Structure 1
Amino acid sequence: MGLMCLRGAGFLKTIPPLSFPELGNWSILQSFMNNELNSLVGLTKEKGCTFLEGLLKNGWLLKLIFKCGCVEKSLATWTFFLMLYSSKEELRSSACEFWCAILSSKIQVGMQPIEIDWYPSYPELKSALETYGFLFNFSSNISAENSSGCKGPPQNIITWIKFTAVYCQVRCNKQSILLTSDCQELAEVILCLFLDRRLEGLSVLMRNCMQSIISSFTEEEWINSYSRIAKSIASRVPTDLNCLRAVQCISGVDPRTKHLKSVVAFEILVNCFENKVHDDVGILTLLISINVKEKACDFFKMYIYLVLAENWLRYDEMFSDKPVICEMWGVFLRNCSCQISSSDLRPRASEVRNKAAFLLQGIGNS
């Protein structure tokens, strides 16, 4: 079960009104109505929203914006709320494309940047998730019985993820109002979304979004943020197979992503041992002390410890410079691979043995 509970289908809170009377004051719409040709069309303020929806869906609204070079507040707000809350797929997709295009103009080489009179704040993004049913503070001990009754989230979550990815990209160019703390929480939120099995079809979108969020931090911000993100994620995930999924969801080849993966795995290990130790030597000492020959040995937990430790050390760029840690890791792997018999029929015993043997072989070849 994921760390967000999308209870029921559709919206769980009242959505903001999607009618914007102030759109009638949009300068370009006013120029349409004041044109003598309007006598043939009969465009009025009352019909303005319907008219603009048509322009939005066929792409002409975006062309007009690139022509005039500015998005007024009323238009920006209207398209933003359509993107997040409209029940009509064509409208929300068109609104998302509109926002992604005007934001991308800020960062794409050779494009004239569009002046945007209003930028959405993080509370507005967060409010949308709450409307979709995202619970920011909940216990991981929600019963499977309750979770099985959950249906899929509103389709608007797709446009939310797409927009968030682009919004974080432009933050690198100081073109959004997202704070460091906002991006920290967004990283946690996306990882929680990853863990909801109903959203597995969106994994590519979420992976791109996570990459955008990680890249949006300045170097100084990242140094002060990665540990906080990792500890928060570790505190949210239960110490079962979901915690392994959480680590696996952090994928990427760039140094920041690899480092975050390592630190998240380490912090989850700390939680597995109930915060008894908080350093690498202490963690490995506890792992080595586990007697795999005891009948009461929990190999399900051992498997989780093994995979977490693998990810922690594999993606720690300083691992090779820590001879004591390397040696202790080897001792733990030998304990698991040599002290568990190939004929051991205890649940998960063979998985732990084979996994450890494979990792030990990798150490020997490195």
Structure 2
Amino acid sequence: MVMDEPLDFEEEDPLLPTARPAKRKKVIGLDDLLEDYFATGKDELKAAGVKPKHKPKGHNSDDEDKKVREKEIKFRKFVEEYEEQSIEFDAGDDVSQWGQRVFGCQKSPSVISSTGVENCQLLQTFCSNDHLGFDLNIGQEEGFLEGLLMDGWLLKLVLVHGSVEDTIASWALTKLLYSSNKKLRVAASDFWNSVLSLNEAGKLLVNIGHFPSYSVLKSALLSYGYIFDSHTKASTSENVIADTADDGPPQNIVEWLKVTSACCKIRKVHSIFSSSEAEEFLDIVISFFLDRRLEGLLLILGDCLSSLILYFNTSEWESSCLSVAQSIAQRVRMDLNCLRIVDCITGTDYRSKFLRSQLALQFLKISFGLKVANVEKILKSVTSINVKDKDCNFFSLYIYLVLMDNLLFSSDAFRDKHAIINSWRNYLRNCSNQIGCTDWRSYASKVRNKASYLMLFCKVQC
């Protein structure tokens, strides 16, 4: 090797590469694309409606549409089968709502007649007094009194005088019960509520000889269209719940309730109704709770109901309560209406609880066809219902659970009877445990939930 010769690595290629010739890009114009399109014959295939033979896999629209249609058919069949099964399971869920027709078509009152108010001493005093300067022509007397009544002056004059003339009392009561003028009937109601009020000494504020009688109040109800027949069981249907312009509720029913309640509150001073008449009014007022069109009057209804319950003497109450409970149980069906009746007795006093218990007892007695209201037999009949039975009527069982709970725990009569309470508690536990969460039978879930709630409440009460 010669020293002056270049080394091997010095003969290698230079580190920096030589510049490569730039590639020429081919510019494809619109004319070239059109030539390719027509050369392949795609235009002829498209015009003839012929689909290409080779398509990318997974994009066959016909196959996809066919699969979608098959899935839709399968899903539709599944939905139809599910609906058929659900109809079979829920055949009993089509239960009518509570509500019964209490008022029908109203009648024109036949009791409104001349009360002789033009000859009352009050008007004679106004006409004969020269200082007052009133000169009333014939036929203007009633209009003058209506003005005094609505302005509150009639009540002030009565309170100052200390007594109410019979003609004035009868005239004001007629306006209260039948007037279509809202301001006039409200003023008449306020007048009577004040007249029937007691002072601190427990006496009436004024002397009065003409009180609202049973016959007058009952005639007013009949003119209002009261149709709750005591001899036939009322039915529940859509036309019962529907409201029309011709069949109530009567516009004077609020004033009727108020004056009836006021009459009951003065029992210690003056007994206006007999016990049998008070029983009938109690029966009627309880039936008002079944009319859905009176739901806005629950406070007034509750006050009148409480006044009627407290109207009876201690010696009269138990027999009167039994009579009212039997009358109502014979007229109300064993559906949601009977539960509505029991629930409307919301008082916490002894009499209200006793009435609620008696109502539940009479409903159960009639339902099981017992001649005597025997609690042990009723309990045995209820607890013998097997919730695992395929033909178990859970709707009826739900009603029995609510009524039995009111029967046993509304009053204190059965709190010390441990055998009855334990038997009832065990049955509630069975209803709660033996009815599965997936049981779709009508009212099954409601019975399970109600039994669980009542079982907890039973433990608290005991």
> Which category describes the TM-score, using the shorter chain as reference length?
over 0.9
**How far does residue 3 in structure 1 lie from its aligned partner after superposition?**
4.5
Distance in 2 (alpha carbons) for counterparts of 1:210 and 1:167: 12
Residues 57 and 141 of structure 1, relative CA distance in 2, 3 Å threshold: closer
Q: Secondary structure at the match of 1:319?
A: coil
**How far does residue 267 in structure 1 lie from its aligned partner after superposition?**
0.9
Q: How does 1:287-302 map to 2 (within 5 A)?
A: 287-302=382-397
Q: Does 1:243 align with 2:338?
A: yes
In terms of fraction of residues, the more helix-rich structure is: 1
- The code of the aligned residue for 1:84 comes to L
Q: Does 1:5 align with 2:102?
A: yes
Alignment root-mean-square deviation, CA: 1.9
- The code of the aligned residue for 2:434 comes to Q
Whether contact under 8 Å (2:99, 2:236) holds in the other structure is no
The answer for the alignment partner of 2:124 in structure 1 is: 30
- The code of the aligned residue for 1:199 comes to L
Distance in 1 (alpha carbons) for counterparts of 2:441 and 2:279: 41
TM-score by length of structure 1 reads 0.93
Distance in 2 (alpha carbons) for counterparts of 1:13 and 1:28: 30
Distance in 2 (alpha carbons) for counterparts of 1:322 and 1:111: 45
| Residue of structure 2 aligned with 1:124, choices 216, 220, 229 | 216
**How far does residue 23 in structure 1 lie from its aligned partner after superposition?**
1.0
Distance in 1 (alpha carbons) for counterparts of 2:401 and 2:206: 51
**How far does residue 331 in structure 1 lie from its aligned partner after superposition?**
2.6
**How far does residue 306 in structure 1 lie from its aligned partner after superposition?**
0.6
| Equivalenced residues, count | 360
Q: Secondary structure at the match of 2:266?
A: helix
| Percent pairwise identity | 41
Q: Secondary structure at the match of 1:286?
A: helix
Distance in 2 (alpha carbons) for counterparts of 1:286 and 1:277: 14
TM-score by length of structure 2 reads 0.74
**How far does residue 94 in structure 1 lie from its aligned partner after superposition?**
0.6
| Residue of structure 2 aligned with 1:133, choices 220, 225, 239 | 225
| Residue of structure 1 aligned with 2:251, choices 155, 180, 186 | 155
Q: How does 1:87-102 map to 2 (within 5 A)?
A: 87-102=180-195
**How far does residue 363 in structure 1 lie from its aligned partner after superposition?**
3.0
Whether contact under 8 Å (2:100, 2:236) holds in the other structure is no
| Residue of structure 2 aligned with 1:49, choices 134, 142, 151 | 142
Residues 69-108 of structure 1, C-alpha deviations (whole Å, 9 max, x = no match): 1111111110011000000001111111111100013x55
Residues 146 and 4 of structure 1, relative CA distance in 2, 3 Å threshold: closer
Distance in 2 (alpha carbons) for counterparts of 1:258 and 1:136: 25
Distance in 1 (alpha carbons) for counterparts of 2:314 and 2:234: 36
Q: How does 1:155-234 map to 2 (within 5 A)?
A: 155-171=251-267, 173-234=268-329
- The code of the aligned residue for 1:36 comes to D
Distance in 2 (alpha carbons) for counterparts of 1:300 and 1:276: 24
Q: Does 1:262 align with 2:354?
A: no
Q: How does 1:273-312 map to 2 (within 5 A)?
A: 273-275=368-370, 278-312=373-407
Residues 99 and 176 of structure 1, relative CA distance in 2, 3 Å threshold: farther
Distance in 1 (alpha carbons) for counterparts of 2:295 and 2:171: 30
The answer for the alignment partner of 2:72 in structure 1 is: none
- The code of the aligned residue for 1:203 comes to L
Q: Does 1:66 align with 2:181?
A: no
Runs of at least 5 residues in structure 1 that lack an aligned partner in the other structure: none
- The code of the aligned residue for 2:209 comes to D
**How far does residue 113 in structure 1 lie from its aligned partner after superposition?**
2.6
Distance in 2 (alpha carbons) for counterparts of 1:236 and 1:186: 15
Specify the structure having the higher radius of gyration (Cα).
Answer: 2
